[in-house]
Structure 1
Amino acid sequence: MTDILYSFWYLVPVTLVQSLMYATVAFGIMIPFRILNLPDLTCEGSLPLGGCLAAAFLTAGFNPYGATVLAVLAGALAGAITAWLHLRFRIHSLLAGILVFTMLWSVNLRVLGKPNAPLPGGANMFDALSPEILASNWLQVGLLGALAAAGTLVLIWLFRTEIGLSMRCVGVNERLAPALAIRSAVYIVGGFALANAIVAFGGALLVQQQGYADVTMGFGVLINGLAALIVGEAIVGRHTVIRQMCAPLVGAIVYYQLVSLGLATGLHPSDLKFLTGLFVIVTLALPRLLRRGQGSALGL
């Protein structure tokens, strides 16, 4: 038992860094799914898109901040394309997302020029701030935690403005929106763009933190992000704007600590995807099963 606790404590700062970066995926899933009521899978392509573009620009000698901004804009474009396909051709948002992230694999490979590539030494935002940051997991936790908290506060503010209220209205009742002079198409495209811009930012941060880019870095992040979102909503709820915006961040932190605990107990890493998928299935099915059980008990 002592060895398990020691291993878990050793992994805590590493998984905190991971959770703070991958929380962007949970946010990217939450905005279309919970705010617009349109599930989206584009994040599995926009995460590596942001990472590969940032790596390509940094290798070409771009400023780390400029490279990150361009990566974020590319992620926003990917999300906007998904929304446009959904609106223009009436393709279901899930299928549109699948089509876009499938095509993005080729785009990422073309951008990077090869399946994976290292970054030039010192070509990242962390070293631009201080060379000591990448040498300490706790300094990374502090920096990424501040970025995550600031981003969450910005989203809370945004969804309390007229723009945010209009986007939420579209998600609740798209047919009612035109009667309130709300152009639903604009807010759907904007919501998808915002979600995937956040995910691409996470991809750019991840590449700069680990020092290399890989076109397959987005594989499986969708299920992890969904699990993190579900965990967060179970902990903090989603009945207010503050709770809904905090859920992805809280969920990502808790979920990756649970993963860390599983690894500390000797769980094989190859089993994590299966168990994560099983966890999501059980969590999504449980409310329905409980309602059915209550109905049976009442003789319905």
Structure 2
Amino acid sequence: MEILNSFLNLVPVTFAQSLVYALLVMGIMLPIRLVGFPDLTCEGSFPLGGCVCAALLLMGWHPVTATLAAVAAGLLAGAATALVNLKFGLSPLLAGIVVFTGLYSINLRILGQSNVALFDTSSLFHLIHPDLTQSVTLQIAFFAALTLLVLLALRWYLSTESGAALRVIGVNAELAPSLGISVWTYTIAGLALANGLTSLGGALIVQLQGYVDVGMGLGVLINGLASLVIGEAIIGRSSVTRQLLAPVVGSVIYYQLVSLGLASGLKPGDLKLATAVFVLITLGLPAFRARGGGRETIRV
């Protein structure tokens, strides 16, 4: 009974946070599923959004402008990963590693120190409603509306000619040029869009918590993959709409599972190990099922 009560007390808070992290999971899903590019840049672009936003807020910038600047920084980070891959011929994974490794130093340079408190600065949430940072109900309402708006915008874009071209890149990049589709243009655009969303999530988390740390991106990729795996297992990805909904559903369920683990006595430091094991089992299960059919490559 004590575990159940502890879990129920955590549900509203983690539900609100999961809606913010859904932006991150969308940013992980877009390159992998729609562009066919396993991008790791989120480990750097997530804290980049937080550091840029925090640094500008401390300088007295308007919260809206600071948040938009954070998104712009994420767009540039995603574009940089795409250019490293396309220009220098590095594999997508290695290109992402190079960029997010470099971003750690950039984030530290932007912030000036490893962590900063933002309790005395204005934030986007103070502008929307004075009690938003203190009211979980208002947070849920705001983040739900924001997530819905992002989903509708992405669904509209993917239904356009440009969005269809982006999806062609992920399905068959070799065929794209014969259809008049520039692989360079849409790879850069897809990764920029994904990391812009990721940076937006970082900027919102920092303003919500009133605290930023250059190491806040550590482990976000594995958390996002776990959320994506859960969402796709429940929603599926047989259509564009389902593929877009999967990160949101998966994020909500994953963070409720985290709450359940914490309520059950699992130490916070063990959560990443548990998540890694979960992702390993989930992605490796098809290979065990196909043991008789030779090797199988699992693509995430």
The two structures have a TM-score, normalised by structure 2, of 0.96
Does the Cα contact within 8 Å between 2:225 and 2:279 map onto a contact in 1?
yes
Superposed CA RMSD:
1.1
Shift of 1:118: 1.4
Does the Cα contact within 8 Å between 2:58 and 2:121 map onto a contact in 1?
no
1:151-166 → structure 2 map (5 Å cutoff): 151-166=150-165
1:92 matched to 2:96? The reply is no
* 1:145 corresponds to: 144
Shift of 1:266: 1.1
1:252 matched to 2:257? The reply is no
1:23 matched to 2:28? The reply is no
SS at match of 1:213: strand
Shift of 1:120: 5.0
Which segment drifts farther, 19-28 or 220-229? 19-28
Partners in 1 of 2:22 and 2:104 — Cα distance? 22
1:136 matched to 2:135? The reply is yes
1:261 matched to 2:251? The reply is no
Which segment drifts farther, 120-129 or 97-106? 120-129
CA offsets 1:66-111 (integer angstroms, 9 cap, x no match): 0000000000000000000000011011111111111111101110
Does the Cα contact within 8 Å between 1:44 and 1:222 map onto a contact in 2?
yes
Equivalent residue pairs, number? 294
* 2:298 corresponds to: none
* 2:61 corresponds to: 62
Does the Cα contact within 8 Å between 1:122 and 1:128 map onto a contact in 2?
no
Shift of 1:244: 0.3
Partners in 1 of 2:289 and 2:137 — Cα distance? 42
SS at match of 2:266: coil
Partners in 2 of 1:105 and 1:166 — Cα distance? 33
* 2:297 corresponds to: none
Identity value in percent: 53
* 2:171 corresponds to: 172
Partners in 2 of 1:26 and 1:271 — Cα distance? 21
SS at match of 2:97: helix
SS at match of 2:133: helix
Does the Cα contact within 8 Å between 2:48 and 2:107 map onto a contact in 1?
yes
CA offsets 1:92-145 (integer angstroms, 9 cap, x no match): 111111111111111011100111111252510000111111111121111011
1:227 matched to 2:243? The reply is no
Partners in 2 of 1:162 and 1:112 — Cα distance? 40
1:48 matched to 2:43? The reply is no
- The one-letter code of the counterpart of 2:109 is R
Does the Cα contact within 8 Å between 1:58 and 1:120 map onto a contact in 2?
no
SS at match of 1:134: coil
Partners in 2 of 1:153 and 1:234 — Cα distance? 22
Partners in 2 of 1:204 and 1:80 — Cα distance? 19
* 1:9 corresponds to: 8
* 1:83 corresponds to: 82
* 1:275 corresponds to: 274
Shift of 1:23: 1.3
Does the Cα contact within 8 Å between 1:59 and 1:119 map onto a contact in 2?
yes
Partners in 2 of 1:48 and 1:190 — Cα distance? 21
Partners in 2 of 1:66 and 1:82 — Cα distance? 25
CA offsets 1:153-205 (integer angstroms, 9 cap, x no match): 11111111111100110111111101111111100000000000000000000
Partners in 1 of 2:118 and 2:164 — Cα distance? 41
* 1:242 corresponds to: 241
Partners in 1 of 2:281 and 2:61 — Cα distance? 46
Structure 1 regions of 5+ residues with no counterpart? none
Which segment drifts farther, 275-284 or 154-163? 154-163
